[in-house]
Amino acid sequence: MGKKIVLGEAFITGKCAYVFDGVKIIRMSKNPDGSFGFEKSDVFPLSSSVTVSTELMAERYWEKFYPREMSTDSMIGLIYGFG
């Protein structure tokens, strides 16, 4: 099991989670087992928030939530990865 990391504010849609960590926005895809993962191409600077917001508004169903724990190795990249 990966280290537990508390995520910041995020938006969950049917397909993805958009996570805001204060420095960047990560679009995380939901895996069949319910966990979330992301690739380097899914990381955006905060300056792209308008684009991401537009994409979010295109989703018909989404839910806003606040700090939550996820335990998976890929989450370590959320805080320490991609510069």
Q: Taking the alpha carbons of 58, 35, 25, 22 in that order, is the dihedral positive or negative?
A: positive
Determine the structural domain holding residue 8 and report its residue range. Answer: 4-80
What is the domain count for the chain?
A: 1
Per residue in 44-83, pLDDT tens? 766 555 455 545 444 433 344 333 444 444 443 443 333 3
Rg (CA), the chain: 12
Per residue in 23-39, pLDDT tens? 677 777 777 776 777 77
**Please, where are the H alpha helices in 14-68?**
49-57
pLDDT score, position 65: 34
pLDDT score, position 23: 65
Whether residue 82 contacts residue 17, with contact meaning beta carbons closer than 8 Å, is answered with: no
CB atoms within 10 A of CB 75: 25
pLDDT score, position 12: 56
